[in-house]
Each structure stands twice: as C-alpha cells, then as structure tokens.
A and B are shown apart, each in its own frame.
Chain A
C-alpha cells in the first residue's frame, strides 16, 4: 500500500486537523511569514540601497571604462590629462572637475566636463536642451550653460532658461540652466558645466579631480598606473563596486543575519507547534497505523502539513516583505537610517533570486520543523500509543547533555577564528552553534534546575504538580522552551551589544567633546587664514582650534578615509602610541578602524597620497568614521597640501564668557558668503545629536529584535495552550480526585512561570555568551572598533520578568479554557 493510494485518507487527516485547529496552523504560517518577510525585506532594502548607491556612482562616473581619480579633494595637476590621453591603451580621455555644489539650500554634484571628450567617453553625462532654448549661441561651449539631471531640476526647482547662482568650493557664480541630462539615472542630482568655467569660477584652475578613460580594446591599466602621481589612483567599475560594497557590507550582513534569526525563530515555532500537534494526535496516528497506514504515512502527513504551512507562510511573507521593504525605504531610506548612503534616493528593486531563496528557506523551515517531531511519532508503537492516555513519561530517563556541550564548545572555537573577506562568518557560525547547543541542552537544564525542587515537596499542590510535570517531561518542556530561549538569547545578546556600544560611544563623546563650542562649515568651502584670524579675535574666546576634514583615498577599492588636520595636544586620548618615530617622518594618528583596515601598527612608516613621509604616532578610538580616519597636525597638513582652509573649529571660552553671546559674535564674524553654511553647537547638543544618530542607525536592529521576541513569545503562547489542551484528560482526572479548578489554573500558571523562568535564565545566560561573541568578535571584525562589555541589567531583568509573566499568562488563559468543561466529560473525552 503506497502513500499515493492512501492520499485520500491523508487528505482527510490533514484537512480534519486544519478544520479543527485553524488558528494554530494560521499562527505557525504567520510565524513563517514574519520570518520570510523580515529576511526578504531586509535583503530587498539592502540590495536596493546598494544598487541605488552603485547606480549613483555609475551616474556620476558616466560608465567610463577606467577612471583616474584624485585621492584628495584637492585633485591633481591638470597636466596629467595630456599624459593619460596619450598613454598606451587609452582610446580617449575625458577630464573632469567634481565639486559638491549648492544652490539655495539644495545640494548636487557639479561636474565640469569637456563636452567633446565626454561625448566619446561618458555620453550619459551630456544633455540635450529642450527645443526653444537659445539656438543662436555656441551653447556647447557656453560658460554660463548648466545642464541638470531631472532630480537636480526638481530639487532646485528650476527650468531650462532660468538663472541660478551656484556655490561650490567657497565661491559662487551665476549660471543659466540650459537643459536636462537625460542620460543620468533617475534620482541622481547632477549638474554639468563646461570644465573651463568650473576651473575658473570655482577656484580650481590647474586642477582636475578625475579623468574618465575609454580603453582601447583588450588593454590593461598597467601603462596608466605607471604614469600616475601619488595623488591619483586608478578606479574601474569593479573597484567602484567593491568600494561601495565595502562601505556598508558588514552592516548589511549583520542585518541579513538578524533577519535569518527571525526566520529561524519562525522555524522553531513551527517545530514546537507541530511537536505538540503530533503529540496530541499520537493516538490518532496510532489508530490509522493500526488500520493500515504505513509508518512513513505519518511523516508524510505531518510533512505535508508543514509544506502547506511553509507555502502559505512563505507566500504571505514575500508579499509582506515587499510591503515592509517599500515602507522602510520610504520611511527610513536605503540604509535604514544608518547613514551609509547619503546621496540620492533609493528605488525598490525586486530581487527574484532572493525571493525564491527566502521562499524556499521558509518552506524548508516549516517542513523541517514538522518532519522532526513526525519522525519521533512514527517510531512509537501503535498499539502502545493507542492504549496510552498521554505521553509515556518516565522521570528516571536520563537526559543527554553531551551534544549540547559539544555544540557550545565548537561555537567557542569558531569565535576564535578570524574574519573571512572582512565578514565575521565564523563569528555568526559561533553564535548559531552556541544557540543550537543551548537549545539542545534545554531538557538537561530543565531537569537539572527542577531536580532539587522536585525532591522537596510540601508546597502547594499546584506548584508541586507543575514542578513534577516539568521535571518528568523535560523533552516536552524543552519543546516549549526552545522558542523562548532562542528569542531571549538573541534579544539579550543584541541588547548587551547595543548597550556596550552605546556606552562606549557615550564615553568616547565625552572624551572628544571637551571644548565649549564647536563650529562647522557645511559643504566644501571653509575659513581662509584671514577669516580664521577674525574668528580668533572674537571677544570671549580664549582659544580656538581650527581643523579640516578631507576624504583621502588610500586604496581604489576601499572608501576613502577621513584626513583630519587639527592641533594635537595632550588632551588627545590614545589607545596606543609609538615610543619614537623614524627620523624625518611626519607623525599621524590613526583611528582604530583605520589601523585595523590597513593593518598599520604604531611606529610604522606609511605612505599617504600626500607629499612627505609619514609614521604612525598613535591610535585613537573613533566610533564616527567606520572607514577610518587619520589625524595629522594642522601645520603638517598645510605644508603637505598647501590648503589653509579650515572647516571646523573647537572653541574654548574665557572663564565667565557667555556661550550664547560668543556664539552670536562668532556668527557675526563669519564671512558673509559662508554664514549660511556655518553651524555652531555646544557639546551637549552634539552629544545628543550623536546618540540620536546612533539610536537611529540601530532602529532597525531594535525592530528586528523586537519581532524575534514577539515570534518567540507567540511560540510560548502557542506551546502553552496546545500543551494545556493536550492535557485536558489529566486535568479531568485531577478534578475527580479533588483538585479544584483554581488549583489547576494555579498549577498551569506555575508551570508557565517556571518555563518562563527556566527559559529566561537559559536565554539570558546564552545571550550573555553570544553577546561576548558579538562584542568581541563580530563587532571588531565587521566594523573594526572595539569596546568593553556593559550589561543592561534593567533590560535583562525586564526581559526575564516579561517572559515569566507572558508564559504564566498564556498558560493561565489556556488553562481556564481547558477546564471550562465539566470533569466527567474531560475524563471521558475520547481524544
């Protein structure tokens, strides 16, 4: 008799179960749906953000084969253009000046191009004017003509023919909007002006930021590389992609992992729901096996149920995920508030492969969660099961603990392994192993924790019964526990990590915000020495330390580091410092991420794309710039770059000076053209702002965490109610022998509370271990910064409390419903 010929009977059994318990099956489907939805949504958002970001890069780059890029915002000498244009393998070369420009309050990327060259190398960067605009001039070489992408036209609220004052590099000039840039992707704010105009009007004479290169077929960039000076690097579309990927990869992978955790929790929920469903139906299965259903028929039945749950849940999850991704993109932006992709809007890109992947993952989780308990059920002898009133519980059966310990041990070893390709793969594996080990150890833990309680008696009947039930059937308890433990552990791990991180950031903010006022110029302009002198002489100012931050490209396939020119004094807190530096070197101080990313040690001599020899004098803590930062003495910086402009200032007030009045005085003394871009803040404001930013970037983390916990709690609720219902007959018996309804409810509440407590303790302990992996392995490997562990005791306590209450509450509710019927019926109840 094959399963095929029994399909009608299988259909009846599955259909009957679904008709009988639609809510429970719906709940498991919803759990899968949530897991799939989160995974898919996070993936979609990340993918969309990345492709939008790459799209933005490509838009600005105009899809050139190869680019010669300046390593600093000061560009390189334009003479390089002639050398690149005539280099071997170069078919054509297009010189470009790139500036961050503002017009009114809107910002856009201003490209200075030679239209003739760009037409050959980067045709997408040149526009077509709508008919009717001046047809009687040499607009192609018209120095006033500004071509804007549609996004720029929108944000600037201008139309072809309008005049527009554009500011960049601290200078402003009036241009005329001559037309659109139809080749530029939607959402990218780009303006194009003749290169000569940009050099002249925005103070960039003699400098270029980029040369776009069209390569002759089948040539390499070797000839180009050979002629490049220090302040230029070669970029290809591949290195661009690597760079934009590197920008946020660790963050994205972390989010993906969290999303998978949610899916995993969903799988646990299916497992616990199906375990109980199977336990409840053991006798039904025994009956039909007696009647002639083969052993694998039971597995097939439950697997089919799981498949149906998986198909429904996954389909729902994909829809939900798409909706969530859409909402998240609209609400938070492509980096989900983390601040990685500042420019350009993000458009949701559907990912069919990912959709299929997450769908299958969801189905797999549901089927696996079903097949495991079904296999156990199929092993039960039908005759025994038929006669038995419930599970065969033998409190003397030993509970294995070795597999759990082995899993945790392997997890511990995995945590010691280094990152792969900048990703903490082993770190995540370690967390997964520890989690799996923890869950596998649940029966043993339940037994161990409850054994002393079970030996003592003499409390109330209710708590005695509760303890004995849990102690005697630790497997059953573990089923209920695994959801709780998994979600609690993850929540605690994340909470500890975030708390540690936030605490470290807070402390660090205290270190760096030691002055009284901070002044900053937005955009690429700044204070020249004269303006600095004026500000320095402001009444009430005791000292003013000017600084400058510029991006510095150290490697073509990594995002630029931030070069910070500032006075370096004793207040500069260092993690590590060199005893002495090689003679003739200029000292630089690396941020922790910079040191880790480029693997530079203190005392080492390093090459920067700036004139001079440099040596690492020290390493400082920085949580602000994940891509790394380098501090250089202001004076050294001016010597190396000739740049005397400063964009930031830290101000020490004279004793008794009124910060508000000094602030006003400083604003008044700011050069007129800059006043609009200058902001002054006090340390408290900055600190609050920084922490707000921090919280925003972790908002999605919190959200995912919360959902994982909700799924976990839903699992607890489902488990508790299912177990309660499965024990109806037991309750009937207890009522017969004189246990009151109230005592039964109290027993269930105690059981629930005990479960919650055991699960909570285990989850918190496990979470604590996993937090160590997060803090000391995954964080340094992903983000290249270290921190000390800080435990959020308040959160830990409230999680434990919430679990106990939730478990007890759902158990009580289920219990009330279960004992609503009269005792006689409960005992007689056939099933």
Chain B
C-alpha cells in the first residue's frame, strides 16, 4: 500500500436490483498522474462502478476511499461536498448547460462552494486558456462543436483541482480525429495536474492513452497487458 493513493477501492461488490451480480471482489488503486481506462462489454456495470466511485451509488459490499476518506463513512451532505471539491466529471454527453456562458459552465464547481466571483472567473479563464478556448469564455454551448464542448467539460472537471477525475465515455459523441485531440488534451491535463483519472470507455483510442487498462468482468477487474 502506498500512501499517495488518491483512490483506493477494495472488495467492491454490486448487484442490479433484479439480483444479477455485476461484479464482486473488485480492487483498484489510482495514484496522482495516473490514467486508468476501464473497458468491458455493455451492461457489465462500468457506469455503475463509476457512480459508486463518485458516491452517487452505494456498493453492496467493499470500500471506496478518496484521499484516504472512506465514502461509506460519509453522509449524503458530506458526499456532496466531497464531489464538489475532490471529484471532477467528464460525460459522454457533454452536459454543458446551454443557458450559461462557457465561463460560467466551467466555473460551476467553484461557484457551488464560493461566491468570490473574481477569483472564480480568473480560474475559469485560466482553464479556458488551458483547453485552447481562451477567447470563448463569454460564448454559449450552441456556438461550439462537439470537440469544443468536451474541452469545456474537461476544463470544468479540472477547474476546482480535484483529486480524481471520473470520465464516462468522454469521446463517445466525437469523430475519431476530434476524439484523438481531446484524449491528448485529457491525458496532458491529468498528468500536469497530478490527479488520478478513471476513464470508462469502449474506445480503443481512449484506452491507448491510459497508463493501465482494466477489463471489467463479473469477477472483477483484469489488467490488460
């Protein structure tokens, strides 16, 4: 065991409400700057796993700890706070709110915990710069292409300096060329920020940028060479 593990999952088990078991005895450790891809067939429980890691769903057994804090010890309010401060999300559907400016979309995680408009804006602008949308902060989602929207989503996932980023099929809605650019950006961002990233994906391209690729099966995670 290493002290610098940002995410530590042990003996995790989960069944669907119908009774079918998704996985059991699942273990996972993610360290700073580490990008872990989880692949697997549809319906195997990848998204459920991600929801459990985010504290949006509870496992039937096992523990999840983010920066050493066990999620099972937290109540709903604490989980919410944990998500707002230590977790970043990137979704397949970009979920960029159409009625907020791009700057506001990016700053949303910060605005949930602080009302200091100036510093929030400054950090959002810095993130926009980082994802190559430096001049677009006042624009709206409808002005952007899919790749640009996902850049906004990545910026939003990183803006509050989380410990881990959870990405659910981040390139699923993008053409291969754009997807490649986004993945490159994602990987650079993860490494530069020293966060741990978990990507759930079908895409080989996405898996290719990962440090570790794990396949989710009914018995747990298997490392792919």
A1 touches B81 (CB 8 A): yes
Give the residue of A1, A284, A387 whose beta carbon is less than 8 angstroms from that of B113. Answer: A1
- Give A367-411 interface residues, CB cut-off 8 Å to B: 381-383, 386-387
> How far, in whole Å, are A284 and B141 apart by their CA atoms in the complex?
14
Query: In the complex, which residue of chain B has the Cβ closest to the Cβ of A283?
Result: B95
Cα–Cα, bound, A774→B81 (Å): 55
Q: Which residues of chain B have C-beta atoms less than 8 A from A528's C-beta?
A: none
User: A294 to B82, alpha carbons, bound, how many Å?
Assistant: 11
Write the nearest CB–CB distance from A464 to chain B, whole angstroms: 29
- The verdict on B65 contacting chain A, using a C-beta distance below 8 Å, is no
Are B76 and A295 neighbours in the complex by a CB distance under 8 Å? yes
Contact B56 A5 (CB under 8 A): no
| Interface check A6, CB cutoff 8 A | yes
Name the residue on A nearest B116 (C-beta): A8
Nearest CB on B from A7, distance (A): 6
Q: Contact between A9 and B108 (Cβ–Cβ < 8 Å)?
A: yes
- 1/0 per position for B99-123, CB-CB distance to A under 8 A? 1100010001101111101001000
Check B99–A292 contact: CB distance below 8 A. no
| Interchain CA distance A12-B115 in the complex, whole Å | 11
- The distance from the CB of A261 to the nearest CB of chain B, in whole angstroms, is 35
A712 to B84, CA, bound (A): 42
Residue numbers in B under 8 Å from A288 (CB-CB): 108, 112
How far is it, in angstroms, between the C-alpha of A7 and the C-alpha of B57 when the chains are bound?
26
A22: min CB distance to chain B, Å: 11
Whether A330 sits at the interface, judged by CB under 8 Å, is no
**Alpha-carbon distance A493/B34, docked complex (angstroms):** 70
**In the bound complex, do residue B97 and residue A291 qualify as a contact, i.e. CB atoms below 8 Å apart?**
no
B83 at the interface (CB under 8 A from A): yes
Contacts of B83 in A (CB 8 A): 290-292
The answer to the question of B214 belonging to the interface, with a C-beta cut-off of 8 Å to chain A, is no
With beta carbons under 8 angstroms apart, the residue of B93, B112, B115 that contacts A291 is B112
Query: B217 near A: Cβ within 8 Å?
Result: no
Determine how close the nearest CB of chain A comes to the CB of B153; give it in whole angstroms: 10
Q: How near does chain B come to A414, taking the closest CB pair, in angstroms?
A: 42
By beta carbon, the residue of chain B nearest A389 is B93
Q: Give complex CA distance A510, B70 in Å.
A: 87
The answer to whether A1 and B56 touch across the interface, beta carbons within 8 angstroms, is no
A831: CB under 8 A from chain B? yes
The winner among B77, B89, B97 for most chain A CB atoms within 10 A is B97
Q: Is A138 an interface residue (CB 8 A)?
A: no
For residue B96, which residue of chain A has the nearest CB?
A830
CA distance A387 to B85 in the complex (A): 23
A643 interface residue (CB < 8 Å to B): no
Interface residues on B, range: 35 or more
Interface centre among A20, A290, A381, A831 (most CB of B within 10 A): A290
- Interface residue? A582 (CB, 8 A): no
Given A292-B80, A294-B80, A387-B47; A1-B98 close (CB under 8 Å)? no
Q: Is A304 part of the contact surface with B, judged by Cβ < 8 Å?
A: no
B215, CB-defined interface residue at 8 Å: no
A830 touches which of B57, B120, B141 (Cβ 8 Å): B141
A196: B residues at CB distance < 8 A: none
Contacting pair B80 A16 (CB below 8 A): no
User: Within 8 Å of chain A (Cβ to Cβ): is B91?
Assistant: yes
Q: Are B98 and A6 in contact (CB under 8 A)?
A: no
B187 interface residue (CB < 8 Å to A): no
Complex CA distance for A782 and B104, rounded to whole angstroms: 59
* Interface 1/0 per residue, B189-221 and A, CB below 8 Å: 000000000000000000000000000000000
Of all chain B residues, the one with the shortest Cβ separation from A286 is: B95
Contact of B99 among A1, A17, A283, A289 (CB under 8 A): A17
Nearest A residue to B117 via CB reads A8
Give every chain B residue within 8 A of A8 (Cβ-Cβ): 111, 114-115, 117, 120
A75 → B minimal CB distance (Å): 77
Residues A7 and B115 in contact, CB atoms below 8 Å apart: yes
B98–A292 CB distance below 8 A:
no
Could you pull out 29 A-B pairs where Cβ atoms are within 8 angstroms? Answer: A1-B81, A1-B84, A5-B112, A6-B111, A7-B115, A8-B111, A8-B114, A8-B117, A8-B120, A9-B108, A9-B111, A9-B112, A12-B100, A12-B108, A13-B97, A17-B99, A287-B95, A288-B112, A289-B80, A290-B54, A291-B108, A292-B82, A292-B85, A293-B112, A294-B80, A295-B76, A383-B56, A830-B93, A830-B149
Further pairs besides A293-B112, A386-B91: 8, Cβ < 8 Å: A288-B108, A290-B83, A291-B84, A292-B80, A294-B80, A383-B57, A830-B96, A830-B98
